[in-house]
Amino acid sequence: MRENEQRLQKVLASAGVGSRRASEELIAAGRVTVDGKTAILGSRVDPDIAVIHVDGERIITDVRTVHLAFNKPRGVISSMSDEQGRPSLANYVTAVPERIFHVGRLDTDSEGLLLLTNDGDLAHRLMHPSYEVAKTYRCEVRGPVSPFLGKKLAKGVTLDDGPVTVDDFKIIDEYEGRSLVEIVVHEGRKHIVRRLLDQVGHPVYRLVRTKIGTVALGNLKPGTVRNLNKGELGALYKAVGL
């Protein structure tokens, strides 16, 4: 028996799955797997390294792993430090003792959802284009916008670095020569949303990322962070095959 091994039901309970009794029932029902194999009552695991799923959803048991949602304000660079002294992400996570990094980027003039973590495997897959994790943006653009623009974007628009297609597009509101639109893409090329909308004649005045996969910005105030919940984490891991 390894030094850090614990009873599986204790590990599940500590991860917030349920009480030890409820966790035992899940194990007995064959709904728990450890490292790809169906677990049995009495199993012992190392929570730092075991890959545990309940009903196919990944359960994070390593307490040292940090997964945060951050609402990046406009004017903050997507970096943990800046040689020029500009506001950076590190200014907003001083209370987090772990060394974390950002998943992807938002340009300095853009706002909204960024994920911060020390989970290298998850971060790598979320940024890899082959997993096509959708990202949702709300943009204030020069308008009005044609109701047929969504169909055009869905067919694809060619930019200087290749074609891009949009997963979803809708007009939210129109006012004073501007429009508020929502756009969903799964690509991570630099300034992809701004370049795309500029290409079709609607330069962006303001851009806010509101979702990454199923993780939503919600009511998170600018400049604040929150921990991702178990459901959000499970959905992210499932989306990238972990």
User: Exposure of 80 by Cβ count < 10 A (0-12 exposed, 13-18 middle, 19+ buried)?
Assistant: middle
Q: Report long-range pairs for 36-42 (Cβ below 8 Å, ≥24 apart).
A: 39/8, 41/9, 42/7
Beta strands in the chain (DSSP E): 6-7, 32-34, 37-38, 44-45, 52-54, 57-59, 67-72, 101-103, 111-117, 135-142, 157-159, 162-164, 168-175, 178-185, 204-212, 215-216, 225-227
What distance, in Å, lies between the first and last C-alpha atoms of the chain? 26
Alpha carbon dihedral 73, 74, 79, 80, in 10-degree steps, equals -40
In sequence order, the 6+-apart residues with CB closer than 8 A to the CB of 103 are: 114, 115, 116, 117, 122, 123, 126, 127, 212
- CA distance linking residue 197 with residue 153, whole number of Å: 9
The residues annotated as belonging to the active site are 107
- CA distance linking residue 81 with residue 205, whole number of Å: 26
Q: Strand 111-117 to strand 204-212: parallel, antiparallel, or no bridges (unpaired)?
A: parallel
